Amino acid sequence: MAQVEATTQREIAAEPEKVFDALADYNGTRSEVLPEQFSEYEVREGGDGEGTVVHWKLQATSKRVRDCLLEVGEPADGELVEKDRNSSMVTTWRVTPGAQPNSARVTVTSVWNGAGGIGGFFEKTFAPKGLARIYDDLLARLASKVE
């Protein structure tokens, strides 16, 4: 099994703290900015950053639906880490000051253990681009919400 990684980022014209707070708000903002690939969204514990447990289904392709049960941690300032209890997937959200005053740069990276063989080759080749498109959409929705 090879590790697969998908990363995308976006500059958002809002204070980094405001952007981080919106991302960490699983009871409100997060559910409002999820694209249509996410379904069955449910906060099971907490709801604001560290200690949150949240569930959703992610339809990455027409045939691939991932059932995610995520534990949220905040290991550093400006960082949310979502660890999926149902798989090896770990998604890290980093919010740092942007290039412009009063702006934030959001970088989201998901890593997981991919399949082996020819299936793994296709997963490693195509999955990162597909997941990056989904997160690009989410970040665009987030920007519209907080800017």
Give tens-digit pLDDT for 13-60. Answer: 999 999 999 999 999 999 999 999 999 999 999 999 999 999 999 997
How many whole angstroms from its chain centre is CA 6? 10
Give tens-digit pLDDT for 77-127. Answer: 999 999 999 999 999 999 999 999 999 999 999 998 876 665 555 666 667
pLDDT of residue 1 exceeding 90, the answer is: no
Per-residue pLDDT band for 61 (boundaries 50, 70, 90) equals confident
Cβ neighbors of 147 (< 8 A, separation 6 or more) are: 12, 13, 14
What's the chain's length in residues?
A: 147
The alpha carbon dihedral of 72, 4, 78, 57 has a sign of negative
φ, ψ (nearest 5 deg) of residue 48: -135, 90
Residue ranges of domains in the chain, CATH in brackets? 3-146 (3.30.530.20)
**Whole-structure pTM value:** 0.91
pLDDT at residue number 122: 61
Residue 64, both tokens: 């691939």
